[in-house]
Amino acid sequence: MTIEFLNEKVIPIQANQTILQASLEAGIPHYHACGGKARCSTCRVVVQEGKDNLSEPNKAELKLRDQKKFPKNVRLACQTKVISNDVKIQRIIRDETDLDLYVYGNHCENLQSVGDEKPMALFFLDIRNFTPFIEQHLPFDVIHIIRRLNIMFNDIIVEHKGKILEFTGDGFYAVFGFDEPIKEAVNNAYKAGKQILDSLIGLNENYITKYFDHKIDVGIGLHSGKVIVGKTGVKEHNPYMVMGLPVNVAARLESATKELNNNFVISEYVYEMLNGRSNSAEQKQIKLKGVSEPFCVRLMGKGYNY
Ligand code: FES
């Protein structure tokens, strides 16, 4: 049986050895501050392939996992054995900075989840035509309106099990699918977009146009795909990071709302996952940066009246 330590080396392991024993024997400088007693967690590894070829977590490992809130793909090398075939793993703590980051430092409570790749729904919203409002109104009014909008956006996103990762001043970026299957996440994201557009009509009529003689329009882009999810670990900031090409595509769909004159643009891929779709939504093709093939989208909103 072998263990591949990704980006390091492949080593042999005997049935009666723990991963830690095998790695130390092979000369890997594997951290093990408590001496292999399941107390320090410095020996932890991420399992990339072959999790079923490992021994089940014992009592000591489960206790530490509960305390530190590790995800299931993180194992203690000092307690885990390989029971059949081969496995691929990665050490998490490789130097003193990693040790500070993950075990002893100020940021470690934000880093119990390791990077993961999963399908998610990616939602970008931009407030249109806001510069004239900023120029014509008092700073208090500008911040007041942005606050009202952001509270409304956030309430709707959260109601649909999404999470806003970043507010950009005149827009935001949200993701759906942390805990639910992707089809459900996509449908939730779509419903959230529709609800935001509907709610804006009421807010414009009853408040923003009435008191500020202005109408807020937005552009929404929605796409879905496999992305890398992890935590930044910087305490004061939003801990989640979601990265990958689908994120860039979703941002591009949001900016395409202008050229397509439609306030809600979704990818064909998302459209195909929608429950109860009628197939009547207008289909268009747009160009994506660096991609030669045209990209198929559906127009699910309304045109702008300016
Ligand atoms: S070496 Fe301390 S928990 Fe494994």
> Which CATH code, of 3.10.20.30, 3.20.20.140, 3.40.50.1100, 3.40.190.10, is assigned to 2-106?
3.10.20.30
Domain locations along the chain:
2-106, 116-299
Question: Helices (H) and strands (E) in the chain — how many of each?
Answer: 9, 13
Per-residue pLDDT of the chain (306 residues), as tens digits, is 999 998 889 999 999 999 999 999 999 999 998 899 998 888 999 998 999 999 999 999 999 988 887 888 899 999 999 998 889 999 988 887 777 777 766 555 544 555 678 899 999 999 998 898 899 988 888 988 998 999 999 999 999 999 999 888 789 999 999 989 999 999 999 999 999 999 999 999 989 998 888 999 999 999 999 999 887 666 665 567 898 999 999 999 999 999 999 999 999 999 999 998 877 899 999 988 777 789 999 999 999 875
> How many Å apart are CA 306 and CA 293, to the nearest integer?
31
In 3D space, the residue among 266, 241, 242 whose CA is nearest the CA of residue 252 turns out to be 266
263: CA distance to ligand 1 center in Å?
Answer: 54
Helix axes 139-159, 182-203, angle to 10 degrees: 140
In 3D space, the residue among 245, 249, 259 whose CA is nearest the CA of residue 299 turns out to be 259
Q: Which of 21, 34, 66 has most ligand 1 atoms within 8 Å of its beta carbon, as the pocket-test mutant? A: 34
233: CA distance to ligand 1 center in Å?
Answer: 22
- Token pair, residue 293, equals 């093939």
**DSSP bridge partners of 18:** 81
197: CA distance to ligand 1 center in Å?
Answer: 52
Q: Which of 30, 42, 67 has most ligand 1 atoms within 8 Å of its beta carbon, as the pocket-test mutant? A: 42
Phi, psi of 2 (to 5 degrees): -130, 160
State the sign of the Cα–Cα–Cα–Cα dihedral 11, 15, 19, 21.
Answer: negative
Model pTM?
A: 0.73
**What is the CB < 6 Å shell around ligand 1?**
32-34, 36-43, 76, 78
Strand positions, DSSP E, the chain: 2-5, 10-12, 44-49, 74-76, 87-91, 116-128, 162-167, 171-176, 217-231, 240-243, 264-267, 282-286, 295-299
> Which CATH code, of 3.20.20.100, 3.30.70.1230, 1.10.1270.20, 2.60.40.1930, is assigned to 116-299?
3.30.70.1230
230: CA distance to ligand 1 center in Å?
Answer: 24
The atom of ligand 1 lying closest to the CA of 35 is 1
